[in-house]
Each structure stands twice: as C-alpha cells, then as structure tokens.
Amino acid sequence: MTTMRDVARVAGVSAKTVSRVFNDDPHVTEETRERVRWAMQKLNYVPNLLARSFRAGADAAVGVAVPDIAEPFFAAMTSSIEVDLVGGGMAVVITSLFHEGRERSALESLLRRQISGLIVACVSADQSYLAPWQERTPMVFVDRAPRKLAGVYVIEDDLGGAREAVTHLASYGHRRVAFLGVSTPETTIRRRLRGYSSTVAENGLDSSPDLICMPAASAEESAAALVKRLAASNAPTAVFSANIPCTMALVQALHQAERTDIALVGFGDFPMAAALTPAVTVVDQDPARLGHIAVDRLLSRIEDPRAKPRLRTVLPVALIPRGSGELRPRE
C-alpha cells in the first residue's frame, strides 16, 4: 500500500508537506503543490484519513499532554503542534498533567479514546505503565525522555544550556553561583542540575551544597527560600534558574526584596523578560521548533509503524544576554 511517506520521497518533500498539500494549506508554494500532486498521481495515492482510522481502529486525532498549558513554554509548543496537526487534517485533544499523581490517569483517559497518536511531556518518574499502550498507539515524548520505557523523544540540550549559563556568570567574576529549581522528578531540572554541577567543578567555583536551592515543589517557595539566603555573609552573588516558573518567581521576589543586584540567568525565555529592569538574560529554547519536530516524528510513526524510528533528537539552545546575567558581584 502506498503511503504518504512514499509520496514525500518521490516529490522530494516531507510527509507533513504532502499532508498540507492534500488539505489545501495556503502556505505551500505552487511549485511544491504541483510536485506533490504529480507524485500522488504517479503513485496512484489517495489520502483517506477516515479509511486509515478504520484500518487502525483509531480516530483521526492526536492527544497532546503537557505539564501545564498555561506555562509560556508549553503554550508555545502546544500551539505549534496544533497548527501542524490541524493543517494535516487531524483533530487535537489537549490536556494538562499538572503533577505526577495525575499523569497515569490523564494519559490513559486519552489513550482509551482510541487516538491515532500521543505527544506527551511527562511529569512522573516512571512511564513503564505506557508499554502496553505503546504497542498499538504511536507516541513521541517531548522536552523530557521517558523513564523506565524506551521511546521516541525530542528534547533540548539541557546540559549544554546549563553549562553555558554558569560559564557566562563565572566570566563576570561570580564564584558563588546558586542553582534554583523545584523538588520534582522532572528530568529536565535534573539534567540542568547535572550541567550546573559539572561546570561549577570545571571552573573551580564554590560547590557548597547550600548553593543548590530546590526545597519545594512550588517555584514561589523555592524562590522565597533563596532570597532569604541573600542576607547571609556567604550568600550567592548569582543564580542559575532551572526553568521559566522559577525564573519568574525569583524575579518578583528579588524586586520585592530590592535585591536586583543579584546576577541571574534563567533557562527559557518568557513574555516581558526583555522589558524588566534589569532585563533577564536567558538560555533560549525554541518551543515551536520542538513541537514541529515532534509532529514530524509522530506522523512518521503513524504512516509507517514498522519503520525503525529515530529514538533521540536533541535541539540546541542559545544564551541571550540582556543585562541580568552580566551584573558583576557587588563590592
């Protein structure tokens, strides 16, 4: 049976582009449209989502599950996923997982809908319960790899981003750089902590355990605990914040405490970061690109489930200096 990937190969485009041509996406150029139509005709290919749904025993819909759709990073990623899938003629069912205790019930509720595929950013420390579901439903994990389960995943360079952030702060004279995070099983924070710790050691910075501040599951509580430490004689002069919620909470707490002299680099950009005083230096991610690639990997699995998948994709990140990360230690 001819697949969309066969058409894509003959036309010299991606399977996603073939889907967009079939659905009359206005963003496809006329040259590309004609090439795809020629390949469809050559291969006698007739896309039929409904027929494929009946054959697979699944709806022409994809489930998308993220920790919290309200977080800027996941909102942007989910938006790009939805645009791509709707453009390909598929429906999208979105849910927020919120915390690890809800993950399994939320995902299994989605999977019982007989969806065609699942894109998920997990929040718990164990995804082994998805093994039987994975046998019949294609899955792609985003932002963090699955744990206790083999699967296709697309992540950012958390280790490299953390190294760049700490190295950047060290280059401005900081020897006591704090790590701000939350006490959850999220692999993203754990990877960024590893990157922080290895760079602290490589640069000969202070490696005191009290510089690692992740006492609570709440970003606000962790930020408040760190700000309290600034009154100590051996207080940190700079902070590497592990994610957007922590950075936003810390910025607010620093302003309230009138301690905007503390250097800060946050992992992940967020609205208004460039408009603050000082503007927030960040390790910039690309959530839209993350979503695009996740969709591409999922469509490949749906179109040809027998093909050997590319299991691991790591996207680069880049530091954006804006002011807060370039503050020097106070005399």
pLDDT tens per residue, range 86-142: 888 888 999 999 888 899 999 998 898 878 899 999 999 999 999 999 988 999 999
What's the whole-number mean pLDDT along residues 203-232?
A: 94
Query: Is 170 a domain residue?
Result: yes
Token pair 């591409």 in the structure block, residue? 296
| 267: in domain | yes
Report if residue 233 sits inside a domain. yes
Q: Is the pTM of this model over 0.85?
A: no
Domain containing residue 6? 1-47
Evaluate whether residue 69 is within a structural domain: no
For strands 281-284 and 318-320, give the pairing: antiparallel
User: Which two tokens mark 229?
Assistant: 């430490």
CATH number of the domain that residue 207 is part of: 3.40.50.2300
pLDDT tens digits for range 314-328? 999 999 999 999 999
Q: How many domains does the chain have?
A: 2
Beta bridge partners of 320: 282
DSSP labels, 246-303? HHHHHHHHHHHTT-TTSEEEEES--TTGGGSSSPPEEEE--HHHHHHHHHHHHHHHHH
In a domain, 95, yes or no: no
Q: Domain for residue 136, yes or no?
A: no
Residue 71 lies in a domain: no
Contact 324, 263 (CB under 8 A): yes
The dihedral formed by the CA atoms of 266, 269, 270 and 274, expressed in degrees to the nearest 10 = 90
Domain presence at residue 307? no
Question: Which residues, 6+ apart, have CB-to-CB distance to 137 below 8 Å?
Answer: 58, 111, 115, 116, 117, 118
